[in-house]
A and B are shown apart, each in its own frame.
Chain A
Amino acid sequence: MHVVVVGCGRSGAALAQRLGAEGDSVSVIDLHADARDRLASNFTGVFIEGDALHQSVLESAQIERADAFVALSSNDSVNIVVARVARDSYHVPHVLGRLHDVQWYPISSHLGLQMVTTVQMTVDRIHRLLRHRRLDPEVVFGNGESLLVRSSLPEYLSGRRVSEFNVEGEIHVVEITRAGHSLLPGSSTTWRKGDFVSFIVAAGALERLHGFLDGRWS
């Protein structure tokens, strides 16, 4: 596929590089010529120096034939404008962008744009790591409402039934790794010392799960 990336900063360059290495055709646009230095010498795509708000620049990146467009400039309003132009004026089927400042989120979602808010993601992740030391999510579903987390089993639970642990709508044990093998627990499965457990947990119940694992059974 052909992908146009706006912004050759750390994120733009890394994305362009990876897509190029996977065999995609990539055009990267940046205002500054020296941004090209962020791309390795084996970069297979095209670097274009210019302002992505200019029609001639977008068209020299072959936006008309793009399958995907990614707005990763350091300027949030530029990202909103070029993402919308890519979608509405050039009908690029898959358009994504990045926002640093969540202040811009309401207008971008009002315009129906799919934007990744990096500061929010960083804060959420760090906050989660701070609050739930052992419960770093492996997978986040939807907008973060449900999480897949893994933890070693606290000793006090050995011998008890796995099914006791499930809380309807909040916590569900989906998998146990025991002595190097994975199993799906049944209604009569009991915990053994050394079990490593996968839970699906509602975001609002993380604190409760953390409490269970710390031995605060309530």
Chain B
Amino acid sequence: MEILVAGGGNVGRQVARTLLAQSHHVIIIESDRSRAATLRDEGFEVVTGNASVATSLEAAGALHADLLVACTERDEENLVISVLAKRHLRIPRVVARINDDDTRWLFNDTWGVDAALSSASALCALIATPTQRA
């Protein structure tokens, strides 16, 4: 699959690495120049730009992308990126990161979000299910 990862922080980098290991083609969009340079040094394919702007996503190949992962550290940006990706650029599937659980109510179809996950809720899900012991 062609996958765009918006936001190259710790989460974005890990998502990209995992997807690359599964043989997907992954491009990271990162607005911070020095962070983008570091990612490039680490071997990632990176487009420097603001992922909330259509031209940046298009430069990263949005018109051919199968999936976009909005995982910046700002929930409002993830929402704007998601709606742009889904409604404007017609990327078929959009997955978003929730940083603050109190903004979860916004992460729905009206913003083009197919699935959203916060690290807090992921941890809670782990606690709720019986943990396996080694």
Q: What is the interface size of chain A, counting residues whose CB is below 8 A from a CB of the partner? A: 19
In the complex, are the beta carbons of A81 and B80 less than 8 A apart?
Answer: yes
Digitize A74-105: 1 where CB-to-B-CB distance is under 8 Å, 0 elsewhere: 01011011000100110000000000000110
B106 is contacted by which of A56, A75, A85, A111 (Cβ under 8 Å)? A85
Q: What is the interface size of chain B, counting residues whose CB is below 8 A from a CB of the partner? A: 20
Given A51-B102, A53-B102, A53-B106, A80 and B76 contact (CB-CB distance below 8 Å)? yes
In the complex, are the beta carbons of A81 and B88 less than 8 A apart?
Answer: no
Which chain A residue lies CB-closest to B105? A55
Which chain B residue lies CB-closest to A79? B76
Does A181 lie at the interface of the complex (its beta carbon under 8 Å from any beta carbon of B)? Answer: no
Given A53-B106, A77-B52, A77-B77, A107 and B100 contact (CB-CB distance below 8 Å)? no
Contacts of B80 in A (CB 8 A): 77, 80-81, 104, 107
Does B54 lie at the interface of the complex (its beta carbon under 8 Å from any beta carbon of A)? Answer: yes
Closest-CB distance, A54 to chain B (whole angstroms): 4
How many angstroms between the C-alpha atoms of A78 and B110 in the bound complex? 16
Does B91 lie at the interface of the complex (its beta carbon under 8 Å from any beta carbon of A)? Answer: no
Contacts of B30 in A (CB 8 A): none
Does B25 lie at the interface of the complex (its beta carbon under 8 Å from any beta carbon of A)? Answer: no
In the complex, are the beta carbons of B79 and A107 less than 8 A apart?
Answer: no
Closest-CB distance, A49 to chain B (whole angstroms): 14
Q: Which 10 A-B pairs have the closest CB atoms?
A: A77-B76, A54-B102, A78-B76, A53-B103, A81-B76, A77-B80, A77-B77, A55-B105, A103-B53, A81-B79
Q: A53-B106, A54-B103 provided; 6 other pairs, C-beta below 8 A?
A: A53-B76, A77-B77, A77-B79, A81-B106, A88-B110, A110-B88
Residues of chain A at the chain B interface (Cβ within 8 Å) = 51, 53-56, 75, 77-78, 80-81, 85, 88-89, 103-104, 106-107, 110-111
